[in-house]
C-alpha cells in the first residue's frame, strides 16, 4: 500500500508526454534580494519555468500541454487547435508541442492588445510559430479569457479537410486537465527544497487565464504546509480572472481527490499591477523589467512577468511579505514577446 497521499497517486496515474528537461531550476536572486531587503530578512528565489524545455524557448504552457497532448493522442487526434493574442506565448507553445509530436497546429491569433508597434505581427512569438510550420491565422477579435468563436471555425475547418482536431482553450487553462501541470510544480518544489534546505513560504505568480495560478493553489492546499500562493493579475479583468482561477482550482482538486476542498481564502489575486489593460506595459511594469534585468540579469516580459515582478517588488517593499520569508517567484517565461515591444525600450 502506497504511503503517498491520494492526490499524488492520482496525479501520477494521469498520462502525460515528456516535453521538459526535468525539474525546472530554482535560482537565488541575491542582488534583487539585497535591493528590496537590504537587511537580508527576505530572500527571493525564482522558479525558472522559462528554462524548462528545449521546445521553442519553453515556458509555463509547455508543462500544461504535456497532459493535453497525451489526451489528444489517446483520442487519435492529429491537429491541435487553439487561440491567443498576436504575441501569445501559448500559441507558440501549442505549435511547438504539436511539431515535436508529429502533429499539426492551427492557431488563431487575435488582436488582444490594442497596439500596432513596428513588426508586432511579424516578430517574437508569432515568428517562431511560423518558422515551426504552424497554420497561423490572424483576426481582429479582442481580449477575453473565455472560449472564442474563431477557434470553433478552425476546429470545423480541420474536420472538413479530414483531420481530427483537438481543442485547447486559451492558455491551456479552462480544460479538465489544465491545472495538473502546476499542481505538479508544487510537488517538484517540495523535492527541490529538500536539497536546498529551504522552505518557500510564499509563491508569487502571474495570473491571466488562470491555470498556472490554480494548479499552484491546489498543490499548496493539498500538501497542507501553510504555503501561500499570491497571484498577480495581468488580465486587466481581475473579477473574471479570479472566478476562473477558483473554478479551475476546484475542478482540479476534485479530479485529484474528491475530498480535497479549496477554501476561498486560498484564492488570492492582487489586482494592483495590471496597469489597466492586458498586454500593455505601464510605468511599474517597465521599472520592474529594468530592476530584474539590472540586478540579477533575469529577463522578464512586458505582458506577464514584468507585471508580476512589479507585484513582487511592491509586496516586499510594503512589508506584505514579512521578514524571514523565503519567496519563490514563479517565472512563467514569455521573453520572446520582447522583440515585438522593442519600441517601448
CB 340 within 8 A of CB 119: yes
Last residue of a domain, one of 172, 203, 220: 172
Maximum Cα interatomic distance, the chain, rounded to a whole number of Å: 64
Domain match, 126 and 157 both: yes
11-49 per-position pLDDT tens digit: 999 999 999 999 999 999 999 999 999 999 999 999 999
Q: Which of 27, 7, 2 is nearest to 327 (CA)?
A: 27
Domain match, 42 and 188 both: yes
Sheet holding 135-138, edge to edge: 135-138, 104-110, 79-85, 165-167
pLDDT of residue 3: 83
- Whether 285 is in a domain gets the answer yes
Q: Which residue has the higher pLDDT, 15 or 3?
A: 15
Domain match, 202 and 285 both: yes
209-250 per-position pLDDT tens digit: 999 999 999 999 999 999 999 999 999 999 999 999 999 999
Domain match, 218 and 280 both: yes
Catalytic residue among 33, 82, 88, 173: 88
- Which domain range does residue 79 map to? 60-172
Domain match, 163 and 221 both: no
Last residue of a domain, one of 126, 146, 172: 172
Domain match, 273 and 180 both: yes
pLDDT of residue 1: 47
Domain match, 216 and 159 both: no
The yes-or-no answer on residue 342 being catalytic is no
Domain match, 271 and 311 both: yes
pLDDT of residue 142: 83
Average pLDDT, the chain: 96
pLDDT of residue 2: 63
Domain match, 24 and 111 both: no
295-333 per-position pLDDT tens digit: 999 999 999 999 999 999 999 999 999 999 999 999 999
- Whether 1 is in a domain gets the answer no
Domain match, 245 and 117 both: no
Q: Is 122 left (phi over 0), alpha (psi -120 to 50) or beta?
A: alpha
Question: Is 60 exceeded by the pLDDT of residue 160?
Answer: yes
pLDDT of residue 149: 81
Look up residue 240 and give its three cell numbers.
473574471
Domain match, 118 and 258 both: no
Last residue of a domain, one of 148, 172, 196: 172
CA distances, 113 to each of 45, 173, 257, 270 (Å): 30, 19, 38, 21
Question: Is 80 exceeded by the pLDDT of residue 95?
Answer: yes
Domain of 221, CATH number, reads 3.40.50.1100
With a pLDDT cut of 90, the percent of the chain lying above it is 94
pLDDT of residue 318: 96
Residue 85's DSSP bridge partners are 110
Domain match, 201 and 232 both: yes
pTM: 0.97
325/199 Cα distance (integer angstroms): 9
Give the count of domains, the chain: 2
132-155 per-position pLDDT tens digit: 999 999 998 887 777 778 888 899
Amino acid at each position: 500500500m502506497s504511503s503517498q497521499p491520494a492526490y499524488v497517486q492520482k496525479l501520477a496515474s494521469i498520462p502525460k508526454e515528456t516535453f521538459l528537461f526535468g525539474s525546472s531550476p530554482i535560482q537565488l536572486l541575491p542582488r534583487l534580494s539585497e535591493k528590496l531587503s537590504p537587511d537580508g530578512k527576505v530572500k527571493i528565489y525564482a522558479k525558472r519555468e522559462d528554462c524548462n524545455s528545449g521546445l521553442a524557448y519553453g515556458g509555463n504552457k509547455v508543462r500544461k500541454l504535456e497532459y493535453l497532448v497525451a489526451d489528444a493522442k489517446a483520442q487519435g487526434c492529429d491537429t491541435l487547435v487553439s487561440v491567443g493574442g498576436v504575441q501569445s506565448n501559448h500559441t507558440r507553445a501549442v505549435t511547438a508541442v504539436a511539431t515535436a509530436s508529429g502533429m499539426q497546429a492551427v492557431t488563431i491569433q487575435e488582436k488582444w492588445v490594442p497596439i500596432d508597434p513596428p513588426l508586432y505581427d511579424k516578430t517574437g512569438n508569432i515568428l517562431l510559430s511560423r518558422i515551426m510550420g504552424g497554420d497561423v491565422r490572424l483576426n481582429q477579435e479582442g481580449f477575453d479569457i473565455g472560449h472564442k468563436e474563431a477557434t470553433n471555425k478552425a476546429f470545423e475547418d480541420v474536420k472538413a479537410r479530414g483531420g481530427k482536431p483537438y481543442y485547447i482553450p486559451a492558455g491551456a487553462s479552462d480544460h479538465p486537465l489544465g491545472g495538473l501541470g502546476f499542481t505538479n510544480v508544487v510537488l517538484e518544489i517540495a523535492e527541490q527544497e529538500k536539497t536546498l534546505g529551504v522552505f518557500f513560504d510564499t509563491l508569487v505568480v502571474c495570473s491571466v487565464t488562470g491555470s498556472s495560478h490554480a494548479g499552484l493553489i491546489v498543490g499548496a492546499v493539498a500538501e497542507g504546509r501553510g504555503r501561500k500562493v499570491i497571484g498577480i493579475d495581468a488580465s486587466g479583468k481581475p473579477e473574471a480572472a479570479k472566478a476562473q482561477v477558483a473554478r479551475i482550482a476546484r475542478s482540479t482538486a476534485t479530479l485529484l481527490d474528491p475530498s480535497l476542498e479549496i477554501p476561498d481564502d486560498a484564492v488570492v489575486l492582487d489586482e494592483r499591477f495590471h496597469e489597466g489593460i492586458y498586454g500593455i506595459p505601464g510605468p511599474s511594469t517597465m521599472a520592474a523589467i529594468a530592476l530584474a534585468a539590472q540586478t540579477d540579469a533575469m529577463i522578464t516580459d512586458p505582458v506577464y512577468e514584468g507585471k508580476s515582478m512589479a507585484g513582487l517588488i511592491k509586496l516586499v517593499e510594503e512589508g506584505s511579505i514579512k521578514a524571514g520569508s523565503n519567496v519563490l517567484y514563479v517565472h512563467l517565461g514569455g521573453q520572446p514577446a520582447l522583440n515585438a515591444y522593442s519600441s517601448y525600450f
